[in-house]
Structure 1
């Protein structure tokens, strides 16, 4: 086996599957439990009840908050990962789902997302992880979870395994669940010049006529990001589909181009 990854924590077998170091099941269970408890305790220690009330109201969340900002959650997760490295992909997935499923405060689910997205675990982002991500997207069912998952973890998987992941995301783009659709649409937000234009437009197509705000917003956001590297393609797309795209999607798509003067008006 050959080691990969910046910190040498991911191991890759002869078949190219990132497996990690193997430990006995009981030892893995203990590591996962300790990591989850450490994250939850760190969040409790950083809690701000006054901020928590405001966060819950802003997010319209039934689940309460600790009152910890996302940058602080990210920092706490990074510190925990350094002090309690996970031995492999199975333990990593187990830890993510343990945090996600047992969460009593919203930041505990944010921590699960940060553990999913952490750069140390990038080599474990394989198509087999899509079942876990589907659970998080469908049960999370709100933009604060979905956008971070779509733009980082799913985007990185699409980069690493474009054929397999694109097949899955094409199905998600046409799913009855709006959050799976939004995930597909936003999956290339960070790809820049590597954006697969045909795939982006294909992901948008099933939702282009929808009235759902979170789909319309996602379409505009995805197109706006792509306009930064290919303004002509986005301008042409919006003009071509002006009668189908919502006013919100068109306004968001052309926002940067209108500001720069590259586009004079919204069609």
Structure 2
């Protein structure tokens, strides 16, 4: 095991909490084992390892993440996400392929959404030409997590959102009743409604979007009394 990951393990194991672990596992529909360490204590314990001189080099990074991804407790994958976010502004375009592997391995919303809105988003903004082929591939995939990523990666783009692309990708997924797809559609529309409220309302009406996606999509506008 990479020395950095060994130090992560040494920091986390003493913080195990079986009661929290049972709750976390149940909350995640029994998908993964947990140490039972909440985000705040986890990050505090690992703060020394995230200092500039301690983090793995860029050349080691994908291997370190892959190793963390193989470990059973979910906290290891969440540490991997934190490490990627810390380095996101310097990741090379090769990390599109790595991101695809992590999105589709041990896939659940907690890792996929962070990869989409931080890692894929940053790579897309820095490498738009390379990004286009990956987004095209993901939006056509049978894998719901790749399609969820295609729906969500522009979540924080605000006025820089490619509206036509966002609405096209959403349109391709409207008939998919999978909860995680419908939730992603609603979430992306809700966030974009903060930037272009009229466009979102018109899109929802014109596409006859209903159910969960509509409720989520209009939630912010309704809360603000804008509908």
TM-score (norm 2): 0.93
Equivalent of 2:33, from 60, 64, 79?
64
Secondary structure at 1:169 match in 2: helix
Matches within 5 A, 1:19-34: 33-34=2-3
Query: Which whole-Å deviations, capped at 9, do the CAs of 1:208-253 have from their partners, x for residues lacking one?
Result: 11111100000000010010111111111111111xx241101100
TM (norm. structure 1) is 0.80
> How much is the aligned-residue C-alpha RMSD, in angstroms?
1.6
Q: Deviations over 1:171-210 (max 9, x none)?
A: 2012000000001111011112221111211221221111
Q: Deviations over 1:30-72 (max 9, x none)?
A: xx71100111221112221111111011111343100111233
Distance 1:74 1:201, change over 3 A: farther
Contact 2:89 2:122 in 1 (8 A): no
**Change in CA separation of 1:77 and 1:124 when aligned onto 2, cut-off 3 Å:** farther
Does the CA contact (< 8 Å) of 1:73 and 1:110 recur in 2? no
1:109 and 2:77 correspond: yes
Structure 1 spans left out of the alignment, 5+ residues:
1-31
- State the 1:115 CA deviation: 1.2
Residue in 1 that maps onto 2:161: 195
User: Is residue 2:225 matched to residue 1:261?
Assistant: yes
Q: Which has the higher helix share?
A: 2
TM alignment of 1:113-152, pairs within 5 A: 113-118=81-86, 121-152=87-118
Give the Cα–Cα distance (whole angstroms) in 1 for the partners of residues 42 and 173 of structure 2: 33
User: Which residue of the partner structure matches residue 7 of structure 1?
Assistant: none
- Structure 2 unmatched runs, 5+: none
Larger radius of gyration: 1
The 8 Å contact of residues 77 and 115 in structure 1, kept in 2 or not, is answered as no
In 2, are the aligned partners of 1:173 and 1:204 still within 8 Å (CA)? Answer: no
Task: State how far apart, in whole Å, the 1-side matches of 2:3 and 2:183 are.
Answer: 39
1:92 maps to which residue? 61
Residue among 45, 52, 65 paired with 2:21? 52
